């Protein structure tokens, strides 16, 4: 549409029709010549024109930073069967023990009866670390120190041994803290926290001779679950008394009874499975035994229960995916399965079966992708349930500025 011509016809051009003005022949001749010169001898205002030429882009595509369509993230394949299965003879079938741990040096420790074995994930080799006497055994718990070289071993006689796995040498034995077996262990830097059948929780400073530095008393029966938060400020403990406690490190005292931060009584069976969320520091997941069957989620700042999901069977262990918002649980009767849940919707993503007895213990590889599970069927299975670690992508090169080859005006 020619708006200039339209404006002329609606204003000056219409004056000769609706408001005639006397004009001389010379003025009329001038008007016609002017109309021919400016192409105004048209009877219509709206008129089709030839298609205008394609505009030239002043900025070539290679110089622009327009966002490209992101490729759709493909759904991760979750293998339904274990990648590897190893025999684990004499594995103690006891819900209240913790006999499997995977260290930061990529070595898996498992206690079979009176012996602790090490399986090196780098080359698949197996070695024997320690065998205890019958009067002291069996081994009731194992836990790697953060350095991946030192390991703590809890015993049925209430002792705790510290070993250097690189030299296969026992460094010391912690005694005098517990009266009965030590079934749970948790490290917080140089502090080794031990939980016993006597209901006590003890912080041991492994650097000093008098190793007992704090004692937590709140459980009335065996402590079967212990986990420190990533910050090292909060400790979660679960017991056979159906209680879950949250302890604050700043409130600990060596001289008097330490008061818990929260005493949570919602579970109706033993609380062994505990897992701190890797992407939300104050979120804790806990699992109940056969009479409870629930996974519960807690805000440990307020002590509020955020959600509770009935899984239908005994919850033996819990692990968070370090790379995605997912939670893995292991179970007992009737399916003896591993279940992968999407968080926070708690939709079942996969059911991993293969064990023929309750899956008592789970441990996660340092890269967070592989999970080892040990069950009462005396097998150790490895599952690629959490995917493959993403390779760090190089930083994208900066797009060249338009006309970068030209000298700048200074």
More confident residue, 252 or 328: 328
Reply yes or no on whether the pLDDT at 244 is more than 80. Answer: yes
Mean pLDDT of 59-68: 51
Pairing of strands 371-375, 126-131: unpaired
Share of the chain above pLDDT 70, in %: 75
The rounded Cα 287 to chain-centroid distance in angstroms is 17
Query: In angstroms, how far is the first alpha carbon of the chain from the final one?
Result: 45
Confidence of residue 409 (pLDDT cuts 50, 70, 90): very low
Please identify which residue in the block is written with the tokens 């399986």. Answer: 119
* pTM for this entry: 0.78
More confident residue, 65 or 257: 257
pLDDT of residue 73: 60
pLDDT of residue 39: 55
pLDDT of residue 250: 83
pLDDT of residue 1: 56
> Using CA atoms, how far apart are residues 229 and 83, in angstroms rounded to an integer?
30
**Least confident interval from 278-292, 296-310, 396-410:** 396-410
What is the rounded average pLDDT for all residues in the chain? 86
Reply yes or no on whether the pLDDT at 38 is more than 70. Answer: no
> Using CA atoms, how far apart are residues 280 and 404, in angstroms rounded to an integer?
45
Mean pLDDT of 208-221: 95
> Using CA atoms, how far apart are residues 325 and 116, in angstroms rounded to an integer?
33
More confident residue, 367 or 23: 367
pLDDT of residue 27: 65
User: 152 CB contacts (<8 Å, ≥6 apart)?
Assistant: 141, 142, 143, 144, 145, 160, 161, 162, 163, 185, 187, 192
Positive or negative, the CA dihedral 47, 53, 56, 57 is positive
Share of the chain above pLDDT 90, in %: 72
Q: What are the backbone dihedrals phi and psi of residue 25, each rounded to the nearest 5 degrees, phi first?
A: -55, -40
At 262-294, the pLDDT tens digits run 999 999 999 999 999 999 999 999 999 999 999
At 377-390, the pLDDT tens digits run 999 999 999 987 66
Tokens of 286: 């806990």
Reply yes or no on whether the pLDDT at 246 is more than 70. Answer: yes
The rounded Cα 111 to chain-centroid distance in angstroms is 27
pLDDT of residue 259: 86
């Amino acid at each position: 549409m020619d708006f200039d011509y339209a404006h002329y016809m609606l204003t000056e051009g219409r004056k000769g029709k609706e408001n005639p003005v006397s004009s001389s022949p010379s003025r009329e001749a001038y008007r016609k010549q002017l109309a021919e010169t400016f192409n105004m001898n048209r009877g219509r205002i709206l008129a089709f024109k030839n298609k205008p030429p394609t505009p030239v882009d002043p900025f070539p595509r290679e110089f622009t930073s327009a966002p490209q369509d992101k490729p759709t993230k493909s759904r991760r394949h979750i293998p339904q069967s274990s990648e590897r299965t190893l025999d684990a003879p004499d594995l103690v079938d006891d819900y209240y023990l913790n006999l499997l741990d995977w260290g930061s040096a990529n070595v898996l420790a498992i206690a079979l009866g009176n012996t602790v074995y090490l399986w090196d994930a780098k080359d698949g080799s197996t070695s024997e670390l320690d065998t205890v006497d019958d009067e002291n055994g069996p081994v009731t718990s194992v836990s790697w120190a953060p350095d991946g070289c030192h390991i703590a071993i809890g015993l049925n006689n209430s002792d705790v041994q510290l070993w250097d796995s690189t030299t296969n040498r026992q460094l010391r034995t912690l005694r005098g803290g517990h009266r009965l077996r030590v079934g749970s262990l948790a490290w917080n830097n140089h502090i080794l926290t031990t939980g016993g059948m006597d209901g006590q929780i003890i912080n041991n400073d492994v650097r000093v001779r008098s190793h007992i530095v704090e004692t937590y008393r709140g459980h009335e029966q065996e402590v079967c679950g212990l986990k420190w938060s990533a910050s090292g400020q909060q400790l979660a403990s679960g017991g056979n008394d159906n209680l879950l406690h949250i302890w604050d490190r700043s409130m600990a005292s060596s001289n008097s009874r330490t008061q818990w931060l929260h005493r949570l009584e919602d579970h109706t069976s033993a609380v062994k499975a505990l897992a701190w969320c890797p992407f939300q520091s104050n979120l804790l997941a806990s699992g109940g035994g056969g009479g409870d069957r629930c996974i519960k989620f807690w805000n440990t700042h307020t002590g509020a229960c955020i959600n509770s999901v009935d899984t239908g069977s005994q919850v033996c262990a819990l692990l968070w995916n370090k790379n995605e918002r997912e939670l893995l649980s292991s179970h007992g009767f009737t399916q003896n399965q591993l279940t992968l849940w999407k968080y926070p919707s708690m939709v079942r993503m996969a059911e991993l079966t293969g064990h023929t007895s309750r899956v008592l213990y789970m441990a996660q590889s340092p890269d967070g992708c592989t999970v080892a599970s040990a069950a009462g069927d005396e097998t150790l299975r490895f599952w690629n349930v959490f995917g493959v670690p993403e390779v760090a992508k190089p930083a994208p090169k900066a797009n060249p500025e338009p006309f970068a080859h030209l000298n700048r005006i200074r």
